[in-house]
C-alpha cells in the first residue's frame, strides 16, 4: 500500500538493469560503521578528520582512527569512502594537501570531493586514487557529469533536485560513469547542500565543516512599520508551533525504490553521520530488506517501511523524484503518523550464564514486553531478572545506566537493541520469544 504521505508518480520507462546497486550508509564513528555493516550496508562514508562538512561531529579524530576503520571494512569485504568535500580558503590549502597525502596512504576506496582545484591536485599527485564528486558540486545534467568523467572522476553524487527521468537520461548519455543518489534523510535547503544560511546566521560556515543546521530552526515571518516603536516587528503568520521554513521534512524513497534502482544508479545513499546508532541500524535494515525484495522481483515489504517509521524523524516526503505532484509542503514539522517505537537499551555484553549487559536509554520495568532488534530480524523479548549497576535486583532501571543486567535465555548477536512498541501498535516480531 502506498503511504499517504507519498505522492503518486508518473510512470517512467527505463531500461532494466542488473541489481548490483550499492547500499551506502553513514559512519559517524567506528561503532556506527560496525552497525551499518551488521545491518546490511555494502559501504560506508565518513568524514576526513578536520576537513569534512561534519568536521565538528566526526568520531574519526586522527589518521590512525581512519586507518583502523578502513582496514576493518576491507577485512569484511566492504568499502569505505571518505568525505573531503569542503571548499578550502587559501589558509587551509597547504594543511589540506598534507592531510590528503596522509589519507591516501591508508587506502580509502574513494575520496568524496567538491572543490575543482583540490580534485585536480589529487588527480595529478595521486593518479590512482579514486574520486567521487560530492553533492556539493551540484551536478544536475549529463554534460556536467561527462565533464567530470573526463577529469578522472569515477562517480558523481547527483544533486537532490533531479527527477527519475533526468537521472535515467544522464545514465543513458554517460553510461561509463557511476551515479549515486540520496534516498533517505535530511534534505539541505540550498543548492544541493551548498548552504549559506548557517554562515549568515551564526558565522558558522557550513562549507567549512561548521554547519549549525539553521535550515531546521523555527522561523517567524515579520514586518516592520513606521507606526511601530523602534526595534519592534509585527508577526505576519503563526500557529501553535511557529512558522517553519525550509527543511522540516525528511526524504524517504522506499515506496519508489524499485524505480530508483531501475534508473541505473550505482549507489543509494543514506544521510546521517550525526544520527544515533539505533537510527543507522533501523534505516539500513529497512533499505536492505527493500533492495533484497526488489532483487527477487517483489515489492518493498511492509517490514522495510516499518523499520524506517520506527525512527525518530520529521515528516516524510519523496523529494524531487516524482514527476507530476507538487513537492509536499515543508512548513510543518509534525509527523503525519505517531512514532511507533523507541529504543530503550543497547546490548553491550553477553554472559555465558545467560545474562546480558545493556546501556539504558529509556526506563525499563521488570516483566515488560519489549522487542529485540538484531541484524537477523526482530523478536519478542521480556525484561526479567533486572540488576542495576550496583548489582542490586530492582523493578526498574532508568536512562543513563551503562551497566545493567537482565536475563536472556539465548546468546544475543552484537549490535542488538531493545525496543519498546508504543501505543496500540501490534508486536511485529519476525520470530518467537527469546
Per-domain boundaries in the chain: 22-192+247-317, 341-421
DSSP code string of 283-295: HHHHHHHHHHHHH
Tens digit of each residue's pLDDT (9 = 90 or more) over 351-408: 988 999 999 999 999 999 999 999 999 999 999 999 998 999 999 999 989 899 999 8
DSSP SS3 for 383: coil
Report whether pLDDT(225) > 80: no
Tell me which CATH homologous superfamily contains domain 22-192+247-317: Aldolase class I (3.20.20.70)
Burial of 152 (0-12, 13-18, 19+ CB in 10 A): middle
Q: Report the C-alpha gap between 80 and 287 in whole angstroms.
A: 19
Tens digit of each residue's pLDDT (9 = 90 or more) over 59-69: 898 999 999 99
Tens digit of each residue's pLDDT (9 = 90 or more) over 302-329: 999 999 999 987 777 777 887 555 555 4
Nearest-10 Cα torsion for 121, 123, 129, 133: 90
Q: What is the mean pLDDT of residues 151-179?
A: 95
CATH of domain 341-421: 2.40.30.10
Element (DSSP H or E) covering residue 155: strand 155-157
Q: Which residues does 256 contact at the CB level (< 8 Å), separation at least 6?
A: 6, 9, 164, 318, 321, 322
pLDDT band for position 425 (cuts 50, 70, 90): very low
Q: Report the C-alpha gap between 126 and 121 in whole angstroms.
A: 8
- For residue 86 the three cell numbers come to 569542503
Tens digit of each residue's pLDDT (9 = 90 or more) over 265-286: 999 999 988 899 999 999 999 9
Q: Beta strand 315-317 with 222-223: parallel, antiparallel or unpaired?
A: unpaired
Tens digit of each residue's pLDDT (9 = 90 or more) over 32-69: 999 999 999 999 999 998 887 665 667 898 999 999 99
DSSP SS3 for 220: coil
Q: Report the C-alpha gap between 95 and 279 in whole angstroms.
A: 34
Q: Which residue has the cell 553491550?
A: 348
Amino acid at each position: 500500500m502506498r503511504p499517504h504521505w507519498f505522492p503518486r508518480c508518473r510512470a517512467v520507462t527505463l531500461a532494466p538493469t542488473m541489481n548490483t546497486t550499492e547500499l551506502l550508509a553513514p559512519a559517524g564513528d567506528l561503532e556506527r560503521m560496525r552497525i551499518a555493516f551488521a545491518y546490511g550496508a555494502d559501504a560506508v562514508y565518513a568524514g576526513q578528520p578536520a576537513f569534512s562538512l561534519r568536521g565538528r561531529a566526526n568520531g574519526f579524530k586522527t589518521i590512525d582512527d581512519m586507518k583502523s576503520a578502513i582496514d576493518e571494512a576491507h577485512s569484511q569485504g566492504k568499502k569505505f569512502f571518505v568525505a573531503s568535500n569542503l571548499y578550502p580558503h587559501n589558509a587551509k590549502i597547504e594543511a589540506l594537501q598534507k592531510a590528503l597525502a596522509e589519507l591516501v596512504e591508508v587506502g580509502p576506496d574513494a575520496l568524496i570531493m567538491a572543490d575543482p582545484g583540490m580534485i585536480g591536485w589529487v588527480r595529478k599527485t595521486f593518479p590512482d586514487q579514486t574520486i567521487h564528486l560530492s553533492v556539493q558540486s551540484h551536478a544536475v545534467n549529463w554534460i556536467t557529469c561527462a565533464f567530470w568523467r573526463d577529469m578522472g572522476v569515477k562517480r558523481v553524487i547527483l544533486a537532490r533536485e533531479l527527477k527519475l527521468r533526468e537521472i535515467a537520461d544522464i545514465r543513458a548519455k554517460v553510461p561509463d560513469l557511476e551515479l549515486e543518489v540520496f534516498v533517505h534523510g535530511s534534505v539541505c535547503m540550498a543548492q544541493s547542500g551548498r548552504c549559506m544560511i548557517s554562515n549568515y546566521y551564526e558565522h558558522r560556515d557550513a562549507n567549512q565543516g561548521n554547519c549549525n543546521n539553521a535550515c531546521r530552526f523555527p522561523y517567524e515571518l515579520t514586518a516592520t512599520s513606521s507606526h511601530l516603536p523602534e526595534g519592534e516587528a509585527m508577526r505576519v503568520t503563526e500557529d501553535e508551533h511557529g512558522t517553519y521554513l525550509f527543511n522540516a521534512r525528511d526524504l524517504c524513497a522506499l515506496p519508489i525504490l524499485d524505480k530508483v534502482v531501475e534508473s541505473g544508479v550505482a549507489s543509494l545513499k543514506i544521510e546521517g553521520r550525526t544520527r544515533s546508532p539505533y537510527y543507522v541500524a533501523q534505516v539500513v535494515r529497512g533499505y536492505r530488506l527493500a533492495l533484497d525484495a526488489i532483487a527477487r522481483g517483489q515489492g518493498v515489504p511492509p517490514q522495510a517501511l516499518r523499520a524506517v517509521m520506527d525512527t525518530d524523524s520529521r515528516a516524510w516526503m519523496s523529494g524531487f523524484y516524482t514527476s507530476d505532484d507538487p513537492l509536499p509542503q515543508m512548513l510543518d514539522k509534525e509527523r503525519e503518523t505517531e512514532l511507533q517505537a523507541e529504543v530503550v537499551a543497547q546490548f553491550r555484553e553477553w554472559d555465558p550464564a545467560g545474562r546480558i549487559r545493556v546501556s539504558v536509554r529509556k526506563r525499563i520495568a521488570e516483566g515488560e514486553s519489549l522487542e529485540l532488534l538484531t541484524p537477523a530480524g526482530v523478536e519478542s523479548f521480556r525484561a526479567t531478572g533486572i540488576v542495576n549497576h550496583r548489582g542490586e535486583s530492582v523493578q526498574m532501571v532508568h536512562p543513563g545506566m551503562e551497566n545493567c543486567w537482565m536475563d536472556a535465555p539465548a546468546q544475543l548477536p552484537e549490535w542488538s537493541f531493545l525496543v519498546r512498541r508504543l501505543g496500540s501498535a501490534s508486536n511485529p516480531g519476525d520470530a518467537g520469544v527469546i
